[in-house]
């Protein structure tokens, strides 16, 4: 039985790049991992989080939009809330396991700074309050803030589902919310005083864009090269900021004041416009350059990442756990052999989690036959 789902209408590009984002999240969270120097964040003004949120919206638009078309809003909203509950439970489970992992390591290795870095030190000061705030998603230790964002986005999406049938209204309503956040800084409150690390009121715009692109894709322009050029220029500008301006402060100081303000205020919390334009440019160029029916998506080399992307929740949760183990390994011995062990071992472990998950989900079913992929116009890659 094949572990990879390849049903009619499924875009394996979404699975592949979601799997790649999960791998980047793993390497980015390990201090000293050499592969972390080759993740998306080093080549664009966006990273795996933007990829994950955009593709999450894309998947939500396909899944729950089709349920709404077949069975109505109530059933679609119920399915969305059921998925939200699953994510919430997964987050609480991950919080407990990760807290135990970090706290035990800090005590056993006499490294109290683990607690300070992960912001788990408050557990010693107010353990009962911390557990309550964790249940309310108001206490989010470092590395444990993506699932709460996803929970909040799905709750918003459950309310906004009917607007999928009026995509322009949904787009401009979501865009207005994004502009309001950028202007006022409004955010969900956190127990420690500041807002959420990922402001859901800002990130909902990227999520809704993904949902619109899958459910009600706009007409592709006949002349597409201007968008191609603009996208390339945006990505090149990001590379200049990362490789030149950020590493040479004197260059930044010599630039006009508006440019300086734009660069130094680039924030991830409120989804800075540069980050938003970067991920949208990257998505456009990827859709233009990678055909949906390309053979390499069905190859053995692509299969591990496709498998990760199709089982993203357990892979993400286990990746956080494996990532901290990898950190301990690199701190004990930072050499080439440990680098290979950390990355190869982490990859094999995550693929194993994805494979077991896929097996449990598919056991007892007939083997899936490979079918041609039928896609919305927005992700077709014919040139023009």
Q: What is the pLDDT of residues 126-177, one digit of tens each?
A: 999 999 999 999 999 999 999 999 999 999 999 999 999 999 999 999 999 9
Does residue 324 contact residue 271 with C-beta atoms inside 8 Å? no
Which of 170, 340, 370, 182 minimizes the C-alpha distance to 275? Answer: 182
pLDDT score of 289 more than 60: yes
What's 297's DSSP letter?
G
For the chain, what's the residue count? 384
Q: What is the pLDDT of residues 208-247, one digit of tens each?
A: 999 999 999 888 888 999 999 999 999 999 999 889 887 8
What's 195's DSSP letter?
B
pLDDT of residue 85: 98
Q: How far apart are CA 171 and CA 176, in angstroms?
A: 9
Q: How far apart are CA 79 and CA 158, in angstroms?
A: 9
Residues 6+ apart with CB under 8 A from 26: 319, 322, 323, 326, 346, 350
Residues 6+ apart with CB under 8 A from 238: 43, 44, 45, 46, 274, 278
pLDDT score of 375 more than 50: no
Which of 277, 212, 280 minimizes the C-alpha distance to 241? Answer: 277
């Amino acid at each position: 039985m094949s572990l990879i789902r390849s049903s009619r209408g499924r875009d394996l590009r979404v699975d592949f790049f979601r799997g790649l984002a999960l791998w980047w999240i793993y390497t980015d969270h390990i201090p000293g991992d050499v592969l972390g120097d080759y993740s998306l964040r080093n080549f664009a003004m966006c990273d795996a989080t933007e990829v994950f949120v955009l593709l999450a919206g894309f998947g939500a638009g396909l899944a729950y939009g089709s349920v709404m078309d077949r069975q109505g809003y109530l059933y679609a909203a119920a399915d969305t809330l059921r998925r939200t509950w699953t994510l919430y439970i997964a987050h609480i489970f991950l919080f407990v396991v990760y807290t135990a992992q970090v706290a035990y390591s800090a005590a056993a290795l006499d490294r109290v700074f683990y607690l300070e870095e992960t912001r788990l030190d408050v557990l010693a000061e107010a353990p009962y309050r911390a557990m309550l705030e964790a249940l309310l998603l108001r206490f989010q230790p470092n590395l444990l803030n993506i699932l709460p964002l996803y929970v909040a986005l799905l709750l918003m999406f459950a309310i906004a589902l009917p607007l999928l049938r009026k995509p322009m209204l949904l787009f401009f309503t979501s865009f207005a919310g994004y502009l309001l956040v950028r202007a006022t800084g409004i955010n969900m409150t956190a127990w420690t005083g500041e807002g959420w690390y990922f402001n859901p009121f800002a990130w909902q715009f990227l999520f809704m864009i993904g949902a619109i692109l899958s459910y009600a894709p706009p007409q592709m322009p006949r002349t597409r090269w201007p968008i191609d050029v603009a996208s390339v220029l945006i990505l090149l500008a990001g590379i200049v900021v990362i490789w030149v301006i950020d590493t040479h402060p004197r260059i930044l100081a010599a630039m006009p004041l508006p440019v300086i303000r734009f660069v130094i205020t680039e924030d991830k919390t409120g989804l800075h416009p540069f980050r938003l334009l970067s991920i949208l440019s990257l998505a456009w160029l990827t859709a233009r350059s990678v055909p949906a029916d390309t053979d390499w998506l069905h190859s053995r080399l692509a299969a591990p990442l496709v498998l990760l992307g199709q089982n993203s929740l357990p892979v993400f949760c286990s990746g956080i756990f494996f990532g901290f183990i990898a950190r301990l390994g690199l701190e004990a011995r930072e050499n080439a052999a440990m680098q290979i062990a950390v990355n190869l071992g982490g990859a094999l472990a995550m693929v194993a989690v994805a494979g077991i998950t896929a097996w449990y989900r598919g056991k007892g079913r007939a083997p899936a036959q490979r079918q041609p992929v039928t896609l919305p116009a927005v992700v077709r890659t014919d040139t023009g």
